[in-house]
Amino acid sequence: MRNIATKTIFKETFTILLFRNSSVNKFSFLSNRDSLNLFFNSFFSQLRVKISLLALFFVNSLNAQTLTVDTYTTSTTWVVPACVTSITVRAWGGGGGGGGASATDRNGGGGGGAYCTRVETVTPGETLTITVGAGGVGVSANTGGAGGFSQVAHSVGPVVFCRAAGGAGGQRGANNTSAGAGGAGGAIASNIPAGTGFRGGNGGASDPNTALDQSGGGGGGAGSGSIGGDGAIITAGIAGSPGGGAGGVGIGTSISTGGNGSPGIVLGGGGGGSTVFSSGTRAGAAGARGQITITYSATGCEPAQSTFSYSPAGSYTWVVPACVNFVTVEAFGSGGGGGGNIGVVSGGQETCTGAGGGGGGGYAARTYAVVPGQSYTIVVGAGGTAGTAGANGGGGGVISTNAGNGGAGGNSTFSGPATVGPGTLTGIGGAGGLASQGRNTTGGTCLAVNGAGGAGSLGLNGSINYRGGNGAAGVILNFSTDRSAGAGGGAGPGGNGGDAPVANSAGVGVNPPGGIGNPPGGNGGNGRTYNTTGTFGGNGGNGIAIGGGGG
């Protein structure tokens, strides 16, 4: 049987966040009454998956604690809860049984169980072994059974760190002329730690007067603040206070058929002895069982960090810290790479095509119920590769190697036990921009094949999902203005990433802008514009972390 009493005091909630960039870890501690605020940080050098840990703990100005008391009346095991590093154990040993009669003997009462207490350092998740001492059994025509010890031990070793001794059984009188001695109470010398706690009361001896048929009373069980009282002829020992049980009373008769003593009272009272004056047998009374209580408080259980951000691209394992029951996860997909171009010039003319910009990465977020110790896999997607440049064939405006398309951005994912139902949380990477394939002929004719923009991608399996911005297509306006496209912006917790504007005017000497990212989603990279005859092209701008596409 297990009884649990819990008292919880809610006062103030704290969230701690860890901000990380590629060169330094920054820690910020934030305290907010009556709310948990999640904070997002955009100062990262790479794409990321961010995990916000919601870890609640409770404090107030009076230093009140949230205490739990677990009470055990039978032997079992106990697993140390998360965040618990210290426990207080209280143990009461079982009482001894009274002596049992046969024919004309009279018998002593059982001894009371001892008490001990211990404050012990423990490790969350470790298993402790709990042994609860049973009361001694009363038997006929024999010494009563001893009460069992109660103890708690670390399973590894094992190492006993708190034990309360049980009381001894009452003895049987040899005949009608001899008195049965009472059982000794549980001794502190037999406790662990030795010499600590309180002893149980000794059982009372039976009356040596052969004219009286009177057995001894049981000794009282020790309490958490005092020893158990000793039994006497007929009289039971008083209970140790608080928590101990009184002994059972003996039998007080003269010229009778005898009788059974009374059982001990929980916790740890010794049983009374029995008597028989003329014939037959009588069992001694049983001693009372012991008990274990474990008192603890989940203190100091707030994680050292409540926000973790992962970069650079790669695979990571994340284990749920102690005391964390819910996490909010954000997954940002990476941006697609921009398409490549080819500059084939013949007869003094420049190439006349523009490549497409990459799409922005998608965003997904969800809150999960988790269990401390669970393991999750995090994959951070790499940015899409830049499209390669084409190669000039060496004459007549011939292309020997076509330009390459931009690579798709990698997906960022979070998976593990909590994602089985809704599916793996995924920020999908943006599509790559397509390469331009075009040239001028020897006669100055522009044979243009402009590159299309890469599409922005969505978030998947989140309770919130947003799309990255689309990259723009390359635009050729005339022989003197080549314009490659800007890229899409990365999505963020506030909404979709912005699409790259379409370049649509001649003679503009600034780079076509990329789409605006939704913070902390990054902006798309700029495209390139050249409007001077004979000027060869240039590289597009890189996407901005997190999730911006490449120009």
The values of phi and psi at residue 190, to 5°, are -95, 0
The pair of structure tokens assigned to 340 is 């490549």
Q: Are the CB atoms for 417 and 437 separated by under 8 Å?
A: no
Q: Are the CB atoms for 27 and 39 separated by under 8 Å?
A: no
Q: Tell me the C-alpha distance between 410 and 406, whole Å.
A: 12
Give the pLDDT confidence score for residue 97 in this predicted structure.
94
Residue 470's contacts (CB-CB under 8 Å, 6 or more residues apart) are 359, 360, 453, 454, 455, 456, 488, 499, 500, 515
- HSE (CB half, 13 Å, CA atoms) of 527? 43
Give the pLDDT confidence score for residue 365 in this predicted structure.
92
Q: Tell me the C-alpha distance between 27 and 306, whole Å.
A: 10
Give the pLDDT confidence score for residue 276 in this predicted structure.
77
The pair of structure tokens assigned to 219 is 């000794």
3-state SS, residue 417: helix
CB atoms within 10 A of CB 255: 9
Q: Tell me the C-alpha distance between 161 and 171, whole Å.
A: 31
Residue segments in the chain with a per-residue pLDDT below the cut of 50:
1-64, 255, 348-349, 504-511, 531-536
The pair of structure tokens assigned to 497 is 């990433």
Nearest to 40 by CA among 542, 490, 408: 490
The pair of structure tokens assigned to 398 is 């011939």
Q: What's at 105, amino acid-wise? A: D
3-state SS, residue 551: coil
* Residues forming beta bridges with residue 79, ordered by sequence position: 127
* Helix ranges, 108-189 (H): none
Give the pLDDT confidence score for residue 10 in this predicted structure.
24
**CA-based max dimension of the chain:** 142
The pair of structure tokens assigned to 446 is 């522009």
Identify the helix (H) or strand (E) that includes residue 439: strand 439-440
Nearest to 58 by CA among 297, 242, 337: 297
Give the pLDDT confidence score for residue 303 in this predicted structure.
55
DSSP label of 192: B
Q: Are the CB atoms for 543 and 381 separated by under 8 Å?
A: no
Q: Tell me the C-alpha distance between 41 and 28, whole Å.
A: 11
Q: What's at 548, amino acid-wise? A: G
Query: How far is residue 522 CA from its own chain's centroid?
Result: 32
Q: Are the CB atoms for 550 and 382 separated by under 8 Å?
A: no
* Helix ranges, 158-279 (H): none
Q: Are the CB atoms for 17 and 305 separated by under 8 Å?
A: yes
